[in-house]
């Protein structure tokens, strides 16, 4: 595997995509999700009974047992996607095929998960503008991809790893739900606050709108990528400033994912704060990637806060603090 480039600067709209192989098809994932790439070792595998059909078992990784998922088996149901048939396991004569595979250990949404793949090609350092939205053929509610990348006539499908893990290993979302307390003193203020939301995953967009609505943040305008959101904010700023008004009277705050086609959340935040001069507009980066390194990037582009998905309840608290001026714990 070849890795070119160095640690990416914050807000440059660049990303490093790891290209991996399943059944001869190229797939991609953000390098920031990758913890390790290892040769599969059956001796470290513990098989599980009554698990999801794509779960092979658990594997020992740095003295920790984590779930091992046959990614090809889970993706084979996606329209137009071909992947290798999964190995059947010890005692069936396919141990050699299984041994030849690689394990991608990833960490996001505060969880480590391992994925079995056929191989790894290289890392591509690109701009998010090079990642195209899905074609209508693949862009369905059940899609497991967020976009595609064409490198020298080779199409690389970007896998929605959060959706994959959510389908196989459902998170206990109840502990992250927003309190729908009808007596909350901030409900009327929340109802009047316009929030822009940039999130490329349709499922997450719907869930965020639902959870924010439970807290009575009813005015939420959504965008499928950072570029469309930035254009809308730019248009709003131009109109309001021409009228002599205050942008904050029309836009209370911005919630954005980090990984998005066309423009990522870091570039979106930096452009809003610096290019548009919206230094007082709260920007909250809500991502599965939040760790110490990403936190530094968020701070570098001027983000007012950053949270790891799926902390919906905490997101509402931060919106209260930054957009409504509520004291911490006031609700």
pTM: predicted TM-score of the whole model, two decimal places? 0.80
Considering the domain 173-323 in this protein, what is its CATH number?
3.40.50.2300
- Computed over every residue of the chain, the mean pLDDT equals 87
Question: Percentage of residues in the chain with pLDDT exceeding 70?
Answer: 85
What is the model's pLDDT at position 91? 40
List of the chain residues with pLDDT < 50: 1-7, 86-96
Q: Which candidate, 101, 131, 139, places its Cα nearest to that of 23? A: 101
Q: Residue 140: what pLDDT?
A: 61
Query: So what's the pLDDT on residue 82?
Result: 65
What pLDDT shows up at residue 49?
82
Give pLDDT, residue 79. Answer: 53
pLDDT at 89: 46
The pLDDT tens digits of the residues spanning 204-223 come to 888 999 999 999 999 999 99
Please give the pLDDT value at position 252. Answer: 97
Domain ranges, ordered by start, for the chain: 14-168, 173-323
Q: Which CATH number fits domain 14-168: 3.40.50.300, 3.30.930.10, 2.40.420.20, 2.40.50.180?
A: 2.40.50.180
């Amino acid at each position: 595997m070849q890795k070119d480039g160095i640690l990416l600067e914050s807000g440059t709209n660049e990303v490093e995509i790891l290209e991996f192989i399943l059944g001869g098809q190229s797939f991609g994932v953000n390098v920031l999700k990758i913890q390790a790439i290892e040769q599969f070792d059956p001796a470290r595998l513990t098989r599980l009974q009554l698990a999801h059909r794509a779960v092979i078992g658990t594997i020992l990784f740095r003295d920790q047992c984590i779930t091992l998922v046959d990614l090809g088996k889970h993706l084979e149901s996606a329209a137009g996607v071909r992947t290798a048939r999964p190995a059947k396991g010890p005692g069936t004569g396919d141990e050699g095929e299984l041994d030849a595979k690689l394990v991608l250990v990833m960490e996001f949404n505060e969880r480590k998960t391992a994925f079995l793949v056929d191989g790894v090609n290289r890392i591509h350092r690109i701009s998010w503008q090079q990642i195209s939205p899905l074609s209508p053929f693949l862009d369905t509610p059940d899609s497991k991809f967020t976009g595609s990348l064409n490198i020298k006539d080779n199409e690389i499908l970007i896998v929605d790893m959060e959706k994959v893990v959510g389908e196989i290993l459902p998170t206990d979302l109840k502990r992250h739900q927003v309190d729908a307390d009808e007596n909350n003193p901030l409900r009327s203020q929340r109802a009047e606050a316009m929030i822009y939301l940039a999130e490329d995953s349709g499922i997450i967009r719907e869930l965020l709108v639902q959870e924010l609505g439970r807290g009575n943040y009813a005015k939420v305008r959504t965008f499928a990528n950072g570029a469309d959101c930035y254009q809308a904010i730019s248009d709003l700023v131009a109109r309001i400033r021409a009228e002599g008004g205050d942008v904050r009277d029309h836009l209370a705050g911005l919630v954005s994912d980090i990984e998005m086609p066309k423009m990522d959340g870091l570039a979106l935040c930096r452009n809003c704060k610096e290019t548009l001069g919206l230094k007082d507009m709260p920007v909250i980066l809500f991502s599965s990637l939040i760790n110490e390194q990403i936190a530094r990037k968020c701070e570098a582009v001027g983000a007012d806060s950053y949270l790891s998905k799926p902390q919906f309840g905490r997101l509402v608290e931060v919106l209260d603090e930054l957009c409504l001026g509520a004291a911490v714990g006031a609700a």
